[in-house]
Amino acid sequence: MASFTLIVVLYIILVSNVNSTRVITVFSDFSNEDDLKFFRTIFPWLVGNIGSDIRVDYQFIDTGMSSGPRKCILQMMDGNTFLQASYLKHEAEGKPKENFLYNFPIDSRKFSNCLFRNVNYYLKEAQRKFNRLRSSDTPVILVSRDNEISGMDPDLLLDGVCQQFGRREPQGCVNPTPFNDRLLYKDDIGSNGYQNNPIHLFSAPTTIIPRRLPKKTKEPNLNVRDKYFYSS
């Protein structure tokens, strides 16, 4: 009887965790500066706050020689959004893959099979899903009910994703780690310590289609883990 009760409790916990996880789709061509900056700074911050509460479907539309292998690598880390965000951060920084791939659980045999069997499917799937987007610029985050979120404002992007949780928002939505705005300027700071190409912090307006609900007031939470993603 005791063992049966334990099984029931574990089942309830498992079902509860599955039901509380939300799926989002990230669209990117992984080539323009906004996309690369998004994966270097904003996406790791989003995952640092709510990575345990979301699963991410990635759709890329850059060259097949890049997007196909990237999708295969991310599939091998499916279910671990933190590892996926870390990998994408390294790639967006332009680091040679041989310098960081050993840090990730990449099975060479599975990777080769994925390249042979799945890349064409991934490319066709990405093209099909991109054709359905209403937003013209990337990156774009697609959440429930086909709501599209685009732009480079970290707080608005997080708010848009968090709205799909309804009243059961995770801690990273209610009390998120504050975003370090200097990360978005990092690439424009010269050796003299001055910004070489002054630009507005958010180079493109953040939009949510359809219109989003009023933004909630949030207090910063310094306990959410983000040190790994922000390390140089």
- The answer on pLDDT for 187 being more than 90 is no
- The answer on pLDDT for 95 being more than 90 is no
Average pLDDT, the chain: 77
pLDDT per residue over 194-206, tens digit each? 344 433 333 344 4
pLDDT per residue over 212-229, tens digit each? 333 443 433 333 333 333
pLDDT per residue over 75-86, tens digit each? 999 989 999 999
**pLDDT on residue 231:** 36
State the residue for tokens 């937003």.
135
**pLDDT on residue 153:** 92
Cβ atoms within 10 Å, residue 10? 10
Share of residues in the chain with pLDDT > 90 (%): 55
Q: Is residue 182 very low, low, confident or very high in pLDDT (cuts 50, 70, 90)?
A: confident
Which DSSP category does 40 fall into?
Answer: I
Taking a C-beta distance cutoff of 8 angstroms, is the pair 164, 144 a contact?
Answer: yes
pLDDT per residue over 127-164, tens digit each? 999 999 998 899 999 998 789 999 899 999 999 999 99
Spell out the domains of the chain, with CATH numbers in brackets.
Answer: 22-230 (3.40.30)
Mean pLDDT of 95-118: 91
Q: Is residue 23 very low, low, confident or very high in pLDDT (cuts 50, 70, 90)?
A: very high
**pLDDT on residue 59:** 97
Mean pLDDT of 33-45: 95
Nearest to 143 by CA among 170, 163, 128, 125: 163
Least confident of 11-20, 115-124, 175-184: 11-20
Cβ atoms within 10 Å, residue 120? 11
Q: Is residue 1 very low, low, confident or very high in pLDDT (cuts 50, 70, 90)?
A: low
Taking a C-beta distance cutoff of 8 angstroms, is the pair 71, 30 a contact?
Answer: no
Q: Which residue has the higher pLDDT, 22 or 207?
A: 22
Handedness of CA 178, 184, 187, 193 (dihedral sign): negative
Rounded to the nearest 5 percent, the helix, strand and coil shares of the chain are 55, 10, 35
Highest mean pLDDT among 1-15, 176-190, 200-214: 176-190
Q: How many CA atoms lie within 13 A of 184 on its CB side?
A: 19
Handedness of CA 133, 90, 228, 32 (dihedral sign): negative
